[in-house]
Amino acid sequence: MEKRLALITGGTSGIGFGVAEALAGDCDLALAYAGNHDRANNAAGILQKTGTEVKLFPGKLSGYDDANRLVDDVIGRYGKSPEILINAAGRIKDGFFMQIDFPFHDELVAQHLLVTMALSQLVLKPMYGKRYGRIVNIGSISAFYAKRSQVSYSAAKAGLTGFTRTLAIEVAHRGITVNTVAPGLIRSPMTEGIVRYLESGSGKQIAKHIPSGFIGEPEDVGSLVAFLCSDKARYITGTVIPVDGGRSLGDTGI
């Protein structure tokens, strides 16, 4: 049987790479990234060692035109549209709402929400035809667990919840599922600073914030995403699933 093609934005680093590793073997991979070519080549090298077909797609994604270009490139180089879309690209920039110029908010919402919507719309038509598709968005517990200085980030990630649930209803009858995975703190280049800070203190620092007592790894997210992409998850759609060691549950009391 022909392997399915997974397009993973942000697939060359951190969580996106964790997803790529979990899908490798079962899928061909199209990895989109912003511009860190060394990191991307390194990621592709690791995945290719498993015998997986991997192609890289550099270019900053900030709106519909970028998304359109990316999907055209993927179709051009693979000869088909992806059956699986993982929306993991994006950065976070903390800053108090009142102190930040509006273009900053614009950029974050575009990156995390609008690009996800655009890519989803672009890949859905062929999924309709095949009566199969998987869309998994990488959200964040910041969507429902408020943290100062993350107003636009949390607004964008919360937007993914409405997007996921509503789109899921519209496309379920064509064998297409749409879900969001909401990580808590996961070790990645993006969280290097905070992870170093938490790990440099006593274990109590981590246990105070994360009930499980340890920081999550990209594969903790990857394994769930791979399951959601499998045929076994055909009846799961419209969900937002935290992967956070219990962080968003409440006060640890420590």
Ligand X SMILES: NC(=O)c1ccc[n+]([C@@H]2O[C@H](COP(=O)([O-])OP(=O)(O)OC[C@H]3O[C@@H](n4cnc5c(N)ncnc54)[C@H](OP(=O)(O)O)[C@@H]3O)[C@@H](O)[C@H]2O)c1
Residues known to be catalytic: 153
Of 172 and 190, CB closest to ligand X: 190
Cβ 70 to ligand X shortest distance, Å: 9
Q: Does 57 bind ligand X (CB under 6 A)?
A: no
Q: Does 67 bind ligand X (CB under 6 A)?
A: no
The correct pick among 5, 6, 7, 15 for binding ligand X (CB under 6 A) is 15
| Stretch in the footprint of ligand X (CB under 6 A) among 44-52, 71-79, 166-174, 181-189 | 181-189
Cβ 74 to ligand X shortest distance, Å: 14
Q: Do 157 and 180 meet the contact criterion of CB atoms below 8 Å apart?
A: no
Of 111 and 164, CB closest to ligand X: 111
Q: Does 61 bind ligand X (CB under 6 A)?
A: yes
Of 19 and 167, CB closest to ligand X: 19
Of 16 and 133, CB closest to ligand X: 16
168 — phi, psi (to 5°)? -55, -40
Shortest CA distance to 174 belongs to which of 136, 124, 137? 124
The correct pick among 168, 185, 198, 210 for binding ligand X (CB under 6 A) is 185
Alpha helices in the chain (DSSP H): 14-23, 37-48, 64-78, 102-109, 115-130, 151-171, 192-200, 203-209, 218-229
Q: How far apart (Å, rounded) are the C-alpha atoms in residues 188 and 15? A: 7
Q: Do 4 and 84 meet the contact criterion of CB atoms below 8 Å apart?
A: yes
Q: Does 60 bind ligand X (CB under 6 A)?
A: yes
Q: Is 7 left (phi over 0), alpha (psi -120 to 50) or beta?
A: beta
Q: Does 34 bind ligand X (CB under 6 A)?
A: yes
Q: How far apart (Å, rounded) are the C-alpha atoms in residues 203 and 81? A: 46
The correct pick among 140, 161, 177, 180 for binding ligand X (CB under 6 A) is 140
Q: How far apart (Å, rounded) are the C-alpha atoms in residues 112 and 139? A: 8
Q: Does 191 bind ligand X (CB under 6 A)?
A: yes
| Stretch in the footprint of ligand X (CB under 6 A) among 45-53, 71-79, 123-131, 187-195 | 187-195
DSSP state of 92: -
Cβ 129 to ligand X shortest distance, Å: 27
| Stretch in the footprint of ligand X (CB under 6 A) among 57-65, 161-169, 201-209, 225-233 | 57-65
Of 121 and 248, CB closest to ligand X: 248
H or E stretch including 27?
strand 27-33
Q: Does 14 bind ligand X (CB under 6 A)?
A: yes
Question: 162-178 b/e with 16+ CB inside 10 Å = b?
Answer: ebbbebbeebeeeebbb
Would you tell me which residues interact with ligand X (CB under 6 A)?
9-10, 12-16, 32-36, 39, 60-62, 88-92, 111-112, 138, 140, 183, 185-186, 188-191
